[in-house]
């Protein structure tokens, strides 16, 4: 998919089982690779990013067998230094979390990324890993790791980042003594939940998360659908009437900020619980349009929906009043500078938007017109403007949309399936 084209539709409704959760798939693969009893992962996300993680754990010596929608990973928890550089592609999760695991395991490795990943900051994990005694080099990718013995630390992270927290906690599984990470706000807690479910000694107290040394015993998980991928369809339902039902979605409280915002906007939301998977709550989410009220995102809310801000910016153009997003400077260092790409794209479609160093304000409601959008090879930007095209006059063409496959294979066909033209 080089470019993606969408046009105005009358309604958007139906059921979808969105792609499996990307964050959970990455972590299930990594924890299975170091678990004494390996892992069995059902319905993992079959995408480029998660495929990179699976290739990397295989290169580290884990035995990987994939049959249909089932992946088995074994190796008895014993990893080895790879013979060649680990290719992380576009996946920041792969690089940052694996760096922590590799440092902890005392391996020698080089981790490489694509041109986009090579621009993203790595010092945020390198610094705490060095405090633990790791021999790791690289302000940006590539990262170079040499064998070293680690000691647990009590680390106060300057940012709320699940990737930073997870890299340190994974390294802490191998370190001498307890490892603790304290964040300024709560980031997603998938790593802590999955480690606890796999038998590791994990302690959580507010914004503090700690691990004691020791490997997971076994991972067994049916990966639920990704709420970040679901967000594009939920918002389309709110904009175009619905109802839309997203099936078997992970509804971890650290990820459901999108639902809180949609409720504030005036959407009608229903959650039908579907149980737990490896410590993660699962539910079917149904949504219908209601009022379109403006909203504010700031402070502790930001980490709970950082990946959903591009599609929420599209929603804000149709809300009556001013929507404000602040405290989201992290958007500047995602796959693209998302504040800039949101501003450029929505401005070209006729929206009234201001940009700030740490966010944006959208003054609505304003009708959108079709435009040519450069997604900057950012999957979430591409999907957000595809949804924008569904409510815009004339045709919207999005270039640089090929990276949508990193998180949502089949996005275009599913978008068209639920669209009533």
What DSSP string runs through 72-130?
EEESTT-----SS-EE-TT-HHHHHHHHHHHHHHT--EEEE--TTGGGS--HHHHHHHH
Cβ neighbour number for residue 213 with a 10 Å cutoff: 17
Distance (Å, rounded) from C-alpha 390 to C-alpha 398? 13
Sequence-separated (6 or more) residues with CB below 8 Å from residue 285: 227, 230, 234, 245, 246, 249, 251, 259, 269, 270, 271
Surface-to-core class of residue 65, CB atoms within 10 Å of its CB (0-12 exposed, 13-18 middle, 19+ buried):
exposed
Catalytic residue among 307, 337, 344, 378: 307
Cβ atoms of 86 and 51 within 8 Å: the answer is: no
Cβ atoms of 400 and 375 within 8 Å: the answer is: yes
**Residue 307: active-site member:** yes
Nearest C-alpha neighbor of 277 from the set 218, 357, 223, 213: 223
DSSP element (H, E) containing 243: strand 241-250
What DSSP string runs through 150-172?
-B--EEE-SS--HHHHHHHHHHH
* Number of Cα atoms under 13 Å in the Cβ half of residue 380: 27
Tokens read off for 340: 């800039």
Distances (CA, A) of 308 to 261, 383, 421: 10, 11, 26
Residues taking part in catalysis: 307
């Amino acid at each position: 998919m080089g470019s993606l084209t969408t046009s105005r539709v009358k309604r958007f409704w139906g059921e979808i089982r969105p792609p499996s959760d990307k964050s959970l798939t990455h972590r299930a693969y990594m924890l299975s690779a170091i678990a004494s009893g390996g892992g069995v992962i059902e319905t993992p996300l079959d995408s480029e990013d998660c495929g990179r993680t699976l290739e990397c754990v295989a290169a580290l010596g884990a035995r990987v067998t994939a049959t249909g929608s089932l992946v088995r990973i074994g190796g008895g928890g014993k990893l080895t230094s790879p013979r060649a550089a680990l290719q992380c592609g576009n996946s920041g999760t792969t690089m940052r979390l694996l760096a922590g695991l590799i440092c902890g395991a005392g391996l020698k490795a080089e981790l490489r990324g694509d041109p986009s990943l090579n621009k993203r900051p790595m010092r945020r994990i390198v610094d705490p890993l060095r405090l633990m005694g790791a021999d790791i080099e690289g302000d940006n990718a590539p990262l170079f790791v040499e064998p070293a013995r680690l000691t647990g630390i009590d680390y106060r992270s300057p940012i709320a980042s699940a990737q930073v927290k997870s890299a340190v906690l994974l390294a802490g599984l191998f370190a001498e003594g307890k490892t603790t990470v304290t964040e300024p706000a709560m980031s997603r807690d998938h790593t802590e939940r999955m480690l606890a479910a796999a038998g590791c000694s994990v302690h959580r107290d507010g914004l503090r998360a700690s691990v004691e040394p020791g490997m997971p015993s076994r991972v067994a998980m049916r990966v639920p659908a990704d709420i970040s991928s679901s967000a594009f369809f939920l918002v389309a339902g709110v904009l175009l009437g619905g109802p839309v039902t997203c099936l078997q979605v992970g509804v971890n409280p650290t990820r459901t900020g999108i639902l809180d915002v949609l409720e504030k906007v005036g959407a009608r939301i229903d959650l039908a619980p579907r149980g737990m998977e490896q410590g993660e709550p699962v539910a079917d989410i149904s949504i219908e349009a209601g009022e379109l009220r403006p909203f504010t995102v700031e402070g502790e809310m930001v980490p709970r929906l950082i990946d959903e801000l591009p599609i929420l910016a599209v929603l804000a153009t149709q809300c009556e009043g001013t929507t404000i997003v602040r405290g989201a400077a992290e958007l500047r260092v995602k796959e693209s500078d998302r504040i800039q790409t949101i501003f450029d794209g929505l401005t070209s479609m006729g929206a009234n938007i201001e940009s700030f160093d740490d966010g944006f304000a959208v003054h609505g409601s304003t009708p959108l017109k079709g435009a040519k959008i450069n997604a900057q090879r950012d999957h979430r930007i591409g999907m957000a403007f595809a949804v924008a095209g569904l409510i815009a006059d004339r045709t919207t063409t999005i270039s640089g949309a090929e990276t949508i496959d990193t998180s949502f294979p089949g996005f275009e066909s599913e978008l068209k399936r639920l669209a009533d033209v």
